[in-house]
Chains A and B, each alone.
Chain A
Amino acid sequence: MNAAMASNSSGGGSDRQRIAQQRLRIIAGHLRRPVDVDSTILAAECKAQDSKTDVSSEGKTVPRRRQEIMKWNGWGYSDTKFLFNKKGQAEFTGKRYKLSGMIMPALKDWLEDTFGTNLQHKSPATPILTSSAVQPPTLNEAFVEELKSTGIPFSHDAEDRVFRAHGHCLHEIFALREGKVGRVPDLVVWPNCHNDVVRIVELACKHNVCLIPYGGGTSVSSGLECPPEETRSIVSLDTSQMSRILWIDEKNLTAHMEAGIVGQDLERLLNESGYCTGHEPDSMEFSSLGGWVATRASGMKKNIYGNIEDLVIRVKMVTPQGVIEKSCLGPRMSTGPDIHHFIMGSEGTLGVVTEVTMKIRPMPEYQKYGSVVFPNFEQGVACLREVAKQRCAPASIRLMDNEQFKFGHALKPQVSSMFTSFLDGLKTFYITKFKGFDPNCLCVATLLFEGHREKVLQHEKQVYDIAAQFGGLAAGEDNGQRGYMLTFVIAYLRDLGMDYYVIGESFETSVPWDRVLDICRNVKLRIIQECKDKGVQFQPLASCRATQTYDSGACVYFYFAFNYRGLSDPVHVFEEVEHAAREEILANGGSLSHHHGVGKLRKEWMREAVSNVGMGMLKSVKDYVDPNNIFGNRNLL
């Protein structure tokens, strides 16, 4: 039974035929679900089923051995990176992205001007991981023995373990580049289905082994870091092989998936059937469905599709106490506090999310990018606020500040038909014709509209009319599209920076509308001030953008990077500045996190964020669900 096959329905056959197919699919889906277990763990055999469904996993993006396609000490695919070629021009290698294979002539100057970098001063990474740097695994022999008998694949290979010991925080990547490895998991297991997970959790409980769930490895909250104080054997539970779409229900517009599926596969497979989830976090190439649920993820197009909490219909999670799930697929329930909200945002401290039923939507008929230039950031924010007030936000609307606008220029490729020259267009048109626009003040909003063609065009007009009230000028589709594409390559750029003594990070918050401008200004100034105070020799880059609008506020994203030449302990300085920036965010009425989560990086502020009683509630749930701290990543609490 293949899920992908079941999704083909556009043949235009009669309604009856369609309904019949539908029915079949639903039955098929139900058939595959194991007989419900109460609260005890039932280790049902799932090998046979496994072989049946294995077919669909052929197109899998993520292999067990991630190192085959991905970098061990940087972002993304091994074949894709920024580098300076022999002519000293920046180049983006590989074939995977629209920008791949292109040359970006302005990037070098931008780097030099912004950070004071010099191509002569390199800070290259350690090329290969020496296995001697990795502590030998502390294995729980009894656990390993029993695990072997289940047939679930596992490994204690050094590379496999190191790969699952980190997310993408600056300090994590910095250490890897220096060839330094701290505490890593002692074992990696690859369950293939829900029942495999049930078996693993049962064994872990039995032998008191610490489990750390691993999805896409894109955490930026130190969520995957192994607690150094953990003395038990640590097992990384990698869900990447649980990546099937189990069924699609076209009647109710829902789909049921295994939680290990990564965003790009989920969208691709659903697209093949004419559907999408519309959930597109910036990390969607690598992050997994289970990870989204566990961290309360947010997608770029949440204005149409909603955030993960709006999208999820039903979740199945394996905990030391058993499996937690709801009994029906009702769209809303009044059955006490929503148990999904114990699961969403639990950050791997309570169990492993194994399967998720999620809303799906027909693929949009029409998509259109757009962009608006504002004379300054204040005007831009005022426009976003008005758009939110009128509840007419497009699928995505993002406002970049002047620094990011300039950064966008720097990534302009040399020759490209799709990129009408932003710079030239602006220079000749806006700056000369509308002299009021100061190139050192103006900022750009990028837009993405989706839906029926007619409606999109109407909607577009409405938004541009509002923008015009705030002095905004339409700046073309290409600029908009380019803005969104940069989201995926920007993470690669950090690796380039790190080759030249530049370290950086992004962090986010959500804040009421009336504080957006204040928080943006104050946090940026605080970063600059702290860098100065901490002896950073060069002016840092402190930049922000408003990436999401809500009725009562916005999500604000900050970028922060600096040239660390001359500092003896750059990571420490970096962390101090980041800490100060978070303090500043909190002092200005921002939230601890909008969607990155708390992990271990922001734990110290958790109590203040949710109050003592709130903390007690969360703790008591943890104490009940996982009294022996099997899920011992020590995130959140």
Chain B
Amino acid sequence: MLLKRSTRGAHSAKPPVLIRSQCFVDILEERRLRSDLGHALRTFRPSPYKGGPSCSAADLPKIVLESQHLRYVVKEIATETGASPEEVREEASAILEEMSQNLQLGFIRLLGYIFTKVFKRLFTSINVNMEGLKALQQAIQESPVILLPNHRSYVDFLVISYIMFTYDIPVPVIAAGIPLAGMKIVGAIIRRSGAFFIRRAIGSDKLYWAVMSEYVRTIIKTGFAPLEFYVEGLRSRTLKSLMPKLGMMHMVLEPYFKGEVYDIQLVPISLSYDRVLEESLLALELLGVPKLKESTTGLLKASKVLQDDYGIMHVNFGRPMSVRRLCRGKINLRQYNLIPRAEAQACVSWLAHLMVRIQEEGSLISPWSLMACLLLQAPTAVLTEQGLPWHQLTEKTIWLRKLALDFGALPDPDVMSSAVALHHSVVRREAGRVYLVREEEPERKRPISPEEDVIRSAAAVLMMVSYRNQSLHLFVRPALLATAIGVTKTAQRDELFAFFCFLRDVFSNEFIFIPGESSQDFEEACVLLRKCGAVHISEQEVTASDAGLEALSFLQALLQPFIDSYQVMFRFLCEDKVHVFAEKQFLPAVRNLATKLILSGELHTYETLSSDTQKNVLSALRRLETLAKLES
């Protein structure tokens, strides 16, 4: 584990890394040996879906516009609004044009060329599991396939398309947010590389829904190309999985629900970055610095990121999963027999959550993420001032790595010293101690205020928090149980279960729990804690073992920032006499309160300052029907 990682450039024939019988291959290796242009101009011979009638890119909009469903909706809207059907049709056509992808192999090649250059620069290696790729190749010929990557970086979908192109797999059509389409040149390039654009807030625009669902449906029914979208909906600023969005998932599954296709294969894809390109932006966004509009110049400015090393990227293609098999016994398709449309929300939600869980399970846990877990458990002041002894950190990390493996982590064979070196923007190692790196103090006339100092620390901490979040999913269930044991001080299994469920319920906007599977989650937590020797389990009781104190206190401490943050916000809401407030006021108000509490030494976590945590609290309270959203 402490072996030195081979330095950049010296890429001798590395044996493929074997992880849980999965074989990861560095796809950049060959690129470093051969011509980039040759790669871009290679013959691309994908084996497409065999089941459907073939459909050309030009036919696609025609099929959509002439579909019975869309014609019906057009007529309906025309009647409702008094517009002529032609006008509505025009409008539908315009929506479709705005939306449509324009997949062109030439652009894929161009991108292939550029990406080879860029990726080789950015990453030490891009490791892809070949087994998953082979299964995908097979699945694409048999059924319509949906690719479901997690979303951690802008480059996610580019990397996937690049891999598909390299391995002769049909390049996917990708659902992307409309802001990307507005970017000069880049928008056009992305469109030509297969992205189609959807508006973020569609709301009740009936025509838009109709066009979009028909478009998606047609792509799936004809097996035009694999469809790719982010089940989390957004890029996760915290690197923690987001609650899945159901709209797109539902749309994608509908052809199966209605029997228009025999089956659909879902392929969850886990992308794990040693270091994400956007890391510095993430923390600032979370602290309320407004999000940079996605623009081409912004992207170019970001080109300084190209100067840096981002380590290894892992792309883990999950086993293709048959929707038909997954839905067996979960949904009665006969409900679709009588009416053209019915809701299957529960099943869709279950599936979407399951996909995110599988993405989590497929992610690699880097030692850096484990180190972040540990570093964050030390007081921030210590980290910035005295630093943490290096040997202490490494020992503890080795212990945690064992725990992680016990909990079923896919271990990343990375080493700690190079991990710290890679993340020089977050930590620095100096004279046997590790320090948290804060942004350089700008030259100022007046001394920095204590509040500003808090923000400065927070930016550094939140960056580390993001990396901790990469491994949080692994520990969250046992951590809930550890907390339950710590808080309730009981050994009674059913009492623990009740408290476990309570915590799970409160935090289910924070972590991904599959709806309706609380007892499975509890079981899993019990099994894992017993496996690492932290608890004894009998039929009635769960008791902490003496040997397990280290693990239990680590797990509790892992959850503590969340509990503290939630409580600050609950306190704010209880103290605030006003019963109606605007979300825009809430966020800064909470931030002020938290800053005060941090300065007074009452609050020990900076995570309360994160807008992500704040928004999650609001969503959780709305879900628990403690808060209600008033439409203005």
Is A526 an interface position by the 8 A CB rule? yes
Inside 8 A of B332's CB, which chain A residues have their CB? Answer: 587
Within 8 Å of chain B (Cβ to Cβ): is A521? yes
Query: Smallest distance from the beta carbon of A621 to chain B beta carbons, Å?
Result: 25
A522 and B262 within 8 A (CB): yes
Q: Are A515 and B334 in contact (CB under 8 A)?
A: no
Contact with B along A491-514 (1 / 0, CB 8 A): 000000000000000000000001
CB distance from B237 to the nearest CB of A (A): 41
List the A residue with the shortest CB-CB distance to B258: A518
Chain B residues contacting A518 (CB-CB under 8 Å) are 258-260
B259 and A519 within 8 A (CB): yes
Interface residues of A in 513-548 (CB under 8 A from B): 514-515, 518-519, 521-522, 525-526
**A575-591 interface code vs B (CB 8 A; 1 in, 0 out):** 00000000000111100
For the complex, give the distance between the alpha carbons of A588 and B53 in Å. 20
Q: Is B333 an interface residue (CB 8 A)?
A: yes
Residue pair B259, A525 in contact (C-beta under 8 Å): no
A608 CB–B CB distance under 8 Å:
yes
Contacting residue for A522 out of B53, B68, B259, CB 8 A = B259
Contact of A589 with B259 at beta-carbon distance under 8 Å, contacts A378-B53, A608-B334 already known: yes
How many inter-chain residue pairs (CB < 8 Å) link A and B? 27
Q: Does residue B336 face the partner (Cβ distance < 8 Å to A)?
A: yes
Partner of B334, one of A514, A521, A525, A587: A587
Nearest to B255 among chain A residues (CB) is: A518
Closest to A519 in B: B259
Complex Cα distance A515/B68, Å? 14
Considering the complex, which residues of chain A in the window 66-116 have a beta carbon less than 8 Å from any beta carbon of chain B? Answer: none
Asked if B337 is an interface residue, CB under 8 A from chain A, the answer is yes
Q: Output the nearest chain B residue to A528 by Cβ-Cβ distance.
A: B262
| Docked pose: A521 CA to B51 CA in angstroms | 10
User: Nearest chain A CB to B54's CB is how many angstroms away?
Assistant: 12
- The smallest C-beta distance from B333 to any residue of chain A, in angstroms, reads 4
Which residues of chain A come closer than 8 Å to B68, judged between CB atoms? 514
User: How far apart are B599's CB and chain A's nearest CB, in angstroms?
Assistant: 62
Min C-beta distance of B250 to chain A, whole Å? 18
**CB proximity to A under 8 Å, residues B30-68:** 51, 53, 68
User: A586 and B334: CB pair below 8 A?
Assistant: yes
Is the Cβ of B337 less than 8 Å from the Cβ of A521?
A: no
Query: Does the CB pair A589–B262 fall under 8 Å?
Result: no
B332-349: which residues lie under 8 A (CB-CB) from chain A?
A: 332-334, 336-337
Shortest CB-to-CB span from A341 to chain B, Å, is 22
User: How far is B257's CA from A588's CA once the two chains are assembled, in angstroms?
Assistant: 9
User: Do A515 and B259 form a contact, CB below 8 Å, given A587-B333, A589-B336?
Assistant: yes
CB contacts under 8 Å to A, within B290-343, are 332-334, 336-337
* Whole-angstrom CA separation of A414 from B336 in the bound complex: 49
Cα separation A588 to B509 with both chains bound (whole Å): 36
Q: Which chain B residue lies CB-closest to A512?
A: B337
Q: Which residues of B contact A515 (CB under 8 A)?
A: 259
Judging by beta carbons under 8 Å apart, are A587 and B259 in contact?
Answer: yes
Bound complex: CA A445 to CA B262 (Å): 25
Chain B 50-88 interface 0/1 with A at a Cβ cutoff of 8 Å (1 = within): 010100000000000000100000000000000000000
By a CB distance below 8 angstroms, the chain B residues around A521 are 51, 262
> Binary interface profile of A, 438-467, with partner B (CB < 8 Å = 1, else 0)?
000000000000000000000000000000
Closest chain B residue, CB of each to CB of A378: B53
Chain A, Cβ-Cβ closest to B260:
A518
CA distance A514 to B338 in the complex (A): 12
Within 8 A of B (CB), among A554-611: 586-589, 608
For A522, what are the chain B residues with a Cβ–Cβ distance below 8 Å? 259, 262
What B residues does A589 contact at CB under 8 A? 259, 334, 336-337
Closest approach, in angstroms, between the C-beta of A42 and any C-beta of chain B? 47
Rounded to whole Å, the gap between the CB of A67 and the closest CB of chain B is 44
Complex interface: chain B residues within 8 A of A526 (CB): 262
Closest to B256 in A: A522
Residues of B within 8 A of A587 (CB): 259, 332-334
Q: Please, which residue of chain A has its CB at the minimum distance from the CB of B340?
A: A514
Residue in B closest to A588 when the chains form the complex, CB atoms: B259
CB distance from A599 to the nearest CB of B (A): 21
Chain A neighbourhood of B337, CB < 8 A: 586, 589
Q: Give the nearest-CB partner of B337 in chain A.
A: A589
Q: Please, which residues of chain B bring their CB within 8 A of the CB of A519? A: 259
CA distance A257 to B263 in the complex (A): 51
Which residues, 131 to 173 on B, are CB-close (under 8 Å) to A? none
Closest to A591 in B: B337
CB-defined contacts of B333 to chain A, threshold 8 Å? 587-588
Q: Which A residues are CB-close (under 8 A) to B334?
A: 586-587, 589, 608
Q: Within 8 Å CB of A588, what residues of B?
A: 259, 333
Residues of A within 8 A of B260 (CB): 518
| A608 neighbours in B (Cβ, 8 Å) | 334
Q: Flag B242-274 by CB within 8 Å of A: 1 or 0 each.
A: 000000000000000011101100000000000
Alpha-carbon distance between A525 and B53 when the two chains are bound, in angstroms: 16
Smallest beta-carbon distance B70→chain A, Å: 15
Alpha-carbon separation in the docked complex, A519 to B260 (Å): 8
Instruction: Report the minimum CB–CB distance from A149 to chain B (whole Å).
Output: 54
Q: Looking across the interface, which residue of chain B has its beta carbon closest to that of A511?
A: B337
**Residues in B neighbouring A586, C-beta threshold 8 A:** 334, 337
Which residue of chain B is the closest to A590 with respect to CB atoms? B337
Closest residue on chain B to residue A376 by CB atoms:
B53
* A376-390 contacts to B (CB < 8 Å): 378
Report A554 CB to chain B, min CB distance, Å: 15
Chain A nearest CB from B457 CB (Å) reads 58
Complex contacts, A514 vs chain B, CB 8 Å? 68
CA of A341 to CA of B262 in the docked complex: distance in angstroms?
36
Which residues of chain A come closer than 8 Å to B259, judged between CB atoms? 515, 518-519, 522, 587-589
Shortest CB-to-CB span from A579 to chain B, Å, is 14
B223 to chain A, nearest CB (A): 12
Contacting residues, chain A, for B53 (C-beta < 8 A): 378
Q: How far is the CA of A526 from the CA of B258 in the complex (A)?
A: 15
For the complex, give the distance between the alpha carbons of A521 and B262 in Å. 7
Using a CB-CB cutoff of 8 Å, which residues 396-416 of chain B contact chain A? Answer: none
CA separation between A378 and B334, bound complex, in Å?
24
Q: Could you tell me if A525 and B336 are in contact, using CB atoms closer than 8 angstroms?
A: no
Q: Mark A182-203, 1 if CB is under 8 A from B, else 0.
A: 0000000000000000000000
What is the distance, in angstroms, from B137's C-beta to the closest C-beta of chain A?
20
Residues in chain A near residue B258, CB distance under 8 A? 518
CA distance A378 to B333 in the complex (A): 23
Q: How far is the CA of A85 from the CA of B334 in the complex (A)?
A: 49
**Residue of A whose beta carbon sits closest to that of B335:** A587
In the bound complex, CA of A526 to CA of B262 (Å): 8
B257 (CB) vs chain A CBs: closest residue: A587
Residue of B nearest to A586 (CB): B334
Give the most central of B68, B259, B337: most A CB within 10 Å: B259
Complex Cα spacing A197 to B258, Å: 49
CB of A529 to closest CB in B, whole Å: 8
> Closest Cβ of chain B: how far from A203's Cβ, in Å?
45
Q: Distance in Å from the Cβ of A527 to the closest Cβ of chain B?
A: 11
Q: How far is the CA of A27 from the CA of B333 in the complex (A)?
A: 57
Q: How far is the CB of A281 from chain B (nearest CB, A)?
A: 27
**A518–B334 alpha-carbon span in the complex (Å):** 14
Distance in angstroms between the alpha carbons of A522 and B263 in the assembled complex: 9
Tell me, in angstroms, the Cα distance from A518 to B337 when the chains sit together.
13
B333, closest chain A residue (CB): A587
Q: How far is the CA of A334 from the CA of B51 in the complex (A)?
A: 51
Knowing that A589-B336, A608-B334 are A-B contacts, what are 17 other residue pairs whose CB atoms are under 8 Å apart, sorted by A's residue number? A518-B258, A518-B259, A519-B259, A521-B51, A521-B262, A522-B259, A522-B262, A525-B262, A526-B262, A586-B334, A586-B337, A587-B332, A587-B334, A588-B259, A589-B259, A589-B334, A589-B337
Q: What are 13 A-B contacts defined by CB distance under 8 Å? A: A378-B53, A514-B68, A518-B260, A519-B259, A521-B51, A522-B259, A525-B262, A526-B262, A586-B337, A587-B334, A589-B334, A589-B337, A608-B334
Query: Nearest 6 A-B pairs (CB), nearest first?
Result: A587-B333, A588-B259, A589-B337, A525-B262, A518-B259, A522-B262
Please list the residues of chain A having a beta carbon within 8 angstroms of any beta carbon in chain B.
378, 514-515, 518-519, 521-522, 525-526, 586-589, 608
